[in-house]
Structure 1
Amino acid sequence: MSLTFEHTTLGQRVLFGTGQAGENLASEIARLGAQRVMVIASTSQSAVAESITKDVDVALNYADVAPHVPLEKAQKGRAAAAELGIDLLVCVGGGSTIGLAKAIAMTSGLPIVAVPTTYAGSEATNVWGLTMDARKTTGVDDKVLPVTVIYDARLTLALPVGLSVASGLNALAHCVDSMWAPRADPINQTLAAEGIRALNRGLRTIKRDLHDRDGREETLYGAYLSAVAFASAGSGIHHKICHVVGGAYNMPHAHTHAAVLPYVLAFNAPFAPEAERRIAAAFGSDTAVEGLSALRAALDAPTALKDYGLAEENIPEAAQLILPFIPASNPRTVTVENLEALLTAAWSGTTPGL
């Protein structure tokens, strides 16, 4: 077998330990020599942020966070950081919170320490996203990659089972998309496959027992692997669809990813046999679609975009908005017609089979 590929691994420090977030954060701030720390956490995560920063001298606690990072929110955050001479951003929360920290870092160059409380995975990527006039723009910039990620499964215990499932399936979508993304290679595909295995086990455990520590840890581990694979492989068809419709129609990020994933997998799998084989093997199933379907059934996963804000009459417009962003390397040729068919099936929640 002859292999030829180019692979980039992003440099980042990862500290993983249940119950150790506060200790790890304090030591990391000291290691970085930060004096003016801005802690970004939504109102719902303020108690968590306070609990892990009690031994930290915080210059600014900041809670003006919104999904999809509206540009005006980014500008306010940037101004607040500049006014107080902030030298380190600490974000505690999910994708929206981490996204705001990235938006600030993108223009300021400030380092980020990320403390995730969901399985979004943004903490391990150099991908940013901003929304303006109902249109979401994403890009890649190494300045937005957090220098350190602190994982603590205890911080995810407040996630109810429904959000745990949606967030975990968002992570799973990173793995699946990494199998055929523009820079897919044997290394990030291997990381993605291990991520699928971990998420398949961990999410099933969480569904059975919301407070199971092993399940939480395994799901966090899988979410990290999914993000590393995604950061290396790039953004494929699934993420282009979800980023566009999420920003255009103000849909919840994790639930949108969870609902769209089976339709993208059914759409691409017949045209990517090697990727399909890897995904099926990671699930321990005969086919990739069967493996994902079995997991989704066990989790009672989100099934239809109509439940999360997409109107049926918006589907033709959505397809037109998405099409220019679909990577040319996608294993199946994408047209407005088959994209509309995919979105219609995902909107209604019909059985995937495109």
Structure 2
Amino acid sequence: MENFVYNGNPGRVIFGHGTVARLPEEAERLRARRILVLSTPEQAGQAADIARHMGSSVVATYSKAQMHTPVEVTADAMRVVEEHAVDALLTIGGGSTTGLGKALAFRTDLPQIVVPTTYAGSEATPILGETEGGRKVTKSDPRILPEVIVYDVDLTMTLPVSLSVTSGINAVAHAVEALYAKEANPIISLMAEEGVGAIARALPLIYSNPKDEVARADALYGAWLCGVCLGSVGMALHHKLCHTLGGMFNLPHAQMHTAVLPHAVAYNADATPQAMARLSKALGVADAAAGLFDLANGLGAAMSLKDLGMPDDSVEVAVEQAMSNAYWNPRALEKRGLTDLLERAFRGEPPKAV
């Protein structure tokens, strides 16, 4: 066995059915008395229903979270934090809301309780991606990592199938890159393989029967594992491309990750044979890149970046920005290869080794 370094991130996870009822005791553990509830505009009603568990400890709500965590939204929410002397954050929703909570915690070191309603997995990471001036920049810091995650399977039962699929593939992307990360280690690789397998099994069942409680639980469990993977080791090409595209074109987050992932895997496949073998095993396929494409495409996901809103004739400028401040990657970033990768993703074609 090769030498490795493993760093475990601290955190408390409550997982099961009806677990939102335990929110008051979790707030008490954190000595939270003045809580700000965060959500997107679309989930404001759901967040209000869940926040009722907290009673008078909720002193304010902020329901303007947006994709890719724009810094101007964070600045607006900071004014609410200061005005109400907030001492803790309750984040309810998917990756957009979790991102806002993390951005506030990074600036204030306030404790966070996160109640995920999708399979984003970002709640399990100390990573924050913020968008300003058309660029999405990531940072990692202990202040960003939520203190408590309350996973309630019941909250995912009404998650639309289309979003379940793309949210799940987005989570898979976290584990995929963990398998060939520069800091990869045996513990994270075990979690990555388990997480990918759980989601890959669950999504077709959810597609066939959205009310399948066992499949919903498996998907949420897998999303947590994949999030832990992302939070424990570095990111590579896939995330760099998605951060670039998200910052430049404001593409829908989970759908964009779903469309890009098979192509990023194909690009790196020859450079990471052991990771590809584990990924193929977890997916139950012979070719990992093709398997990811077929899984998402077969479940109705949009696989064309053009269909998601990426402008015509924008591949070249996206490649230039992605290469300008690149993350570590197991294969060197080559302009011709990346251009071909993004052009195939733009058109929604199957992945191809480049």
Return closer, same or farther for 1:282/1:261 CA change in 2, 3 Å cut-off. same
SS at match of 1:231: helix
Q: Do the aligned partners of residues 229 and 243 (structure 1) sit closer, same or farther apart at CA in structure 2, a change above 3 Å counting?
A: same
**Structure 2 portions without partners, runs of 5+:** none
- Name the residue aligned to 2:94: 94
The alignment status of 1:349 with 2:348, answered yes or no, reads yes
- Quick one: distance in 2 between partners of 1:41 and 1:261? 27
Normalised by the size of structure 1, how large is the TM-score? 0.96
Aligned ranges for residues 253-332 of structure 1 at < 5 Å?
A: 253-328=253-328, 330-332=329-331
Contact 1:304 1:348 in 2 (8 A): yes
- The alignment of Structure 1 onto Structure 2 pairs a total of residues equal to 351
Q: 1:290 Cα shift?
A: 4.1
| 2: CA distance, partners of 1:128 / 1:290 | 30
Q: Which amino acid aligns with 2:17?
A: T
Q: 3-state DSSP class of the match of 1:313?
A: coil
Letter in 1 for 2:184: A
Q: Does structure 1 conserve the Cα–Cα contact (< 8 Å) formed by 2:23 and 2:53?
A: no
**What is the TM-score normalised by the length of structure 2?**
0.96
Question: How far apart, in 1, do the equivalents of 2:198 and 2:120 lie?
Answer: 15
Q: Separation in 1 of the partners of 2:325 and 2:175?
A: 19
For 2:336, the equivalent position in structure 1 comes to 337
Mapped contact 2:65–2:96 kept (Cα < 8 A): yes
1:137 partner SS: strand
Cα RMSD of the aligned pairs, angstroms, is 1.2
Are the counterparts in 1 of residues 182 and 330 from structure 2 also a CA contact under 8 Å?
Answer: no
Q: Distance in 2 between matches of 1:59 and 1:282?
A: 45
Cα distance in 2 for residues equivalent to 1:44 and 1:290: 34
Q: Deviations over 1:26-77 (max 9, x none)?
A: 1101111111000001222122212222131210011121111111111111
Aligned equivalents of 2:136, 2:330: Cα separation in 1? 25
- 1:61-117 alpha-carbon deviations (Å, 9 max, x no partner): 111211111111111111210121100000000111010111111111101100001
- 1:52 partner amino acid: I
Give the drift of 1:12.
0.3
Deviations 1:223-245 (A, max 9, x none): 00001011112111111110111
Does structure 2 retain, via aligned residues, the 8 Å contact 1:38–1:86?
yes
Query: Is the Cα–Cα contact under 8 Å of residues 40 and 65 in structure 2 kept in the other structure?
Result: yes
Give the deviation of 1:297 after TM superposition. 4.1
Q: Which moved more, 1:304-313 or 1:191-200?
A: 304-313
**Aligned 8 A contact 1:188 1:230 in 2:** no
Is structure 2 residue 38 aligned with structure 1 residue 40?
A: yes
SS of 1:308's equivalent in the other structure is coil
Contact 1:175 1:195 in 2 (8 A): yes
Q: Shift of the alpha carbon at 1:134?
A: 1.2
Report the CA distance between 1:312 and its aligned residue. 2.9
Q: 1:289 and 1:73 mapped to 2: Cα distance?
A: 36
Distance in 1 separating the partners of 2:183 and 2:271: 17
Any stretches of 5+ residues in structure 1 without a counterpart? none
1:189–1:324 Cα change, 3 Å: farther
Change (3 A) 1:327 1:254: same
* 1:297 to 1:313, Cα distance in 2 relative to 1, 3 A: closer
The verdict on how the C-alpha distance between 1:297 and 1:305 changes in structure 2, with shifts beyond 3 A counting, is closer
CA distance in 1, matches of 2:309, 2:64: 23
| Equivalent residue letter for 1:146 | P
Deviations 1:309-336 (A, max 9, x none): 11231111000000133333x2222112
For residue 191 of structure 2, what is the aligned residue in structure 1? 191
- CA-CA distance at 1:185 after TM superposition: 1.6
Equivalent pair of 2:47/2:92 in contact (CA under 8 Å)? yes
Match of 1:17 in 2: 16
Distance 2:150 2:117 in 1: 10
Structure 1 residues 205 and 325: CA distance shift in structure 2, 3 A: farther
**Displacement over 4 Å in runs of 4+:** none
Q: Is the 8 A contact 1:182 1:327 kept in 2?
A: no
Deviation, structure 1 residue 300: 2.2
Deviations 1:100-137 (A, max 9, x none): 11111111110110000111111000001111111111
Q: Secondary structure at the match of 1:312?
A: coil
Distance 1:35 1:276 in 2: 48
